[in-house]
Amino acid sequence: MKHRLALKDSKWRDAAVFLPILVLSSVYLARNALAVLDFFDMSAFMDAGYRIARGQAPYTDFFYSAGPLHPLMHAIYFKLFGFTKTAIQAHLLTVNALALTMTFVIARRRLPLWQAGLVTVLGSFCFYGPVSHPWYDQNAAVFVIFAVLACELLRTSKNELVKAALAFAAGGAVTAAFMVKANFGASAACVLLVVLLVSRVRPSLVAVYLLGCVVVLGVVLLALKSPAEYYYQTFVAFPTRGRMGDIRRIMSVSVRTPYTMLLLALFGAVPALGLKFFRKNIELFTLLAGLLAISIFTSWTGSMLVSNNLCLLALEMAYCFALINLLKRKRLQGAMLVGLTIALTALFTVESVYKTVNTKVWSWRRPVVLRDYALKTEAFRGWRCDRRIGEGLDAAVDFISHNVGAGESLFVYPDATVIYGLTGHESYRNAPFIFHLGMVPAPGRILEKFRKDLFAAPPAWIVIHDQTEVSFIDTKAMTSWLQLGEFFENNYRQVWTSNPFRVLKRLRASK
């Protein structure tokens, strides 16, 4: 009876610590989600989700260079809430809440309440804070956290059937992460496989873990209209291996993220604490080292500014605490705990708060993010952005809404593709979800197919965003590379302009 009361009191204390963190994080994140709208990156992935919500199939109806689950998640929220800022906020808050809840549960299984609360505070800023927008790195990371939680539960479960279910779930989760973003899923699958092997679980559970990987991969591939196109567009036409050869990027990851420092400290502690200690706790040591390796690898091979890729940091700090708590030498343990607490609060949390407040991920265009205009288009009303682009976008949406018929085809080029959803028009089929000079549409048959389809069935209307500030989406350079200048000139006339947007109307059918 006393044990039950103590357990009940413990749950109430846990809730009293966790729920305020979750609520405050959600409130702030909902506000911060509207702090900046990036018309290149954000527009592209929102349009990919909108296309799926309208019935288009990735890889066949439009070029897409990553796993299908991220735009599918976007599509679910667009189906529920329409193409609105509410859908974006709901998507963001749901994934963030799942990540925080699972991080707290994992931490609480190994840590006292104050430590679990501390890493959850860190997680409330570092997981989604710097991005403050549904993004495929974080959406992949939430599946990785789920897989880690499944392994934690497997470690202490006494029921063999439950263990098998958890092993299967862990395998399925890392595959789901792979189908969001390949670098997260592939690295996590390898790390958890090694963790299971060193933890000396029964070989049958390792087999069930691998079975979970295979089954979920098979289910997703079978659900795709063309698994072959998924493979070609993701791994052949638009591979990321070029980043793996970028020495400057890996050096930047080493210097500008905490992961290398933590990993070196972890391996450096081996001789100081003794091999016996690490052999005894090999599972925990392997898991922590593996998570840090995942963060290094995904920062290196991803496209995000490396210093802002912090989505697994709270979980990693939880395992740092857990490893330190196992030390027998109390004086050393206390000193290391104090040092880690100072590092956690003064360095990582403060840095994460700074990056969250300034939405640092979106400073890739310029050091200071421009957000001097609040959009007036109803679906995105209040979402802040660069005034020069925002005023033009509002005017373009208004013009299209009043002058372009619902059944008329529309092509938005080369970015600001949120215009499709904001005007209720279907995104132009066979156009890629994003344009990138020299890279997308992928040179070869995909580029040629895009040009062939565009010339064979030219849209009734074209919206052009004259973009000059970013070289790889410069509109003039892009038009020259795609060889579209003559096509636009011969088949369209300009009927409306509001800097930096123009609207062209088709003159005649293409020959």
Confidence band of 173 (pLDDT split at 50, 70, 90)? very high
Report the chain's mean pLDDT, rounded to a whole number: 90
What integer pLDDT is reported at residue 305 of this predicted model? 77
CB 212 within 8 A of CB 202: no
Predicted TM-score (pTM) of the model is 0.93
Confidence (pLDDT) at 330: 67
Contact partners, residue 59, CB within 8 Å, separation at least 6: 68, 224, 225, 226, 229, 230, 233
Question: Given this model, what pLDDT does residue 331 score?
Answer: 67
Q: What is the pLDDT of residue 510?
A: 44
| Residue 376: pLDDT band with limits 50, 70, 90 | very high
pLDDT higher than 90, residue 264: no
The stretch 34-57 carries a mean pLDDT of 96
Mean pLDDT for 153-180 is 97
Task: Give the mean pLDDT of 58-66.
Answer: 96
Closest CA to 51 of 67, 65, 71: 71
Tokens of 248: 């400057």
**Contact at 8 Å (CB) between 341 and 119?**
no
pLDDT in tens, 106-130: 999 999 999 999 999 999 999 999 8
Distance CA 319, CA 294 (A): 14
pLDDT reading at 250 higher than 80? no
**Token couple for 83:** 């193409």
pLDDT digits (tens, 9 = 90+) for 326-369: 876 666 666 776 677 667 666 677 777 777 777 666 765 655 67
- pLDDT digits 0-9 by tens, 448-504: 999 999 999 999 999 999 988 778 889 999 999 999 999 999 999 999 999 899 999
CB environment 276-314: b (16+ within 10 A), e (fewer): ebbeebebbbbbbbbbbbbbbbbbbbbebbbbbbbbbbb
What pLDDT is recorded for position 163? 96
Q: Which two tokens stand for residue 246?
A: 């970028």
- Tell me the pLDDT band of 511, cut-offs 50, 70 and 90: very low
Confidence (pLDDT) at 1: 52
pLDDT at 366: 59
Tokens of 482: 């795609």
Instruction: Tell me which residue of 290, 101, 130 sits closest to 196, measured CA to CA.
Output: 290
Q: What is the pLDDT of residue 262?
A: 85
Higher model confidence: residue 60 or residue 306?
60
The lowest-confidence range among 106-110, 264-268, 383-387 is 264-268
- Express as a percent the part of the chain with pLDDT over 90: 73
**357: helix, strand or coil:** helix
- The pLDDT of residue 70: 98
Instruction: Report how far apart, in Å, the C-alpha atoms of 434 and of each of 43, 211, 418, 462 are.
Output: 8, 35, 11, 16
Looking at residue 334, its pLDDT comes to 66
* Helix then strand then coil, % of the chain, to nearest 5: 70, 5, 25
Helix H or strand E segment including 10: helix 2-32
Give the helix/strand (H/E) hosting 116: helix 113-126
Between CA 168 and CA 171 the distance in angstroms is: 5
Q: How confident is the model at residue 95 (pLDDT cuts 50, 70, 90)?
A: very high
Mean pLDDT, rounded, for 395-416 = 96
Structure tokens at 395: 């005017």
Q: What is the pLDDT of residues 312-321, one digit of tens each?
A: 999 999 999 8
Dump pLDDT digits (tens) for 280-314.
999 999 999 999 999 999 998 888 877 788 899 99
pLDDT for position 239: 63
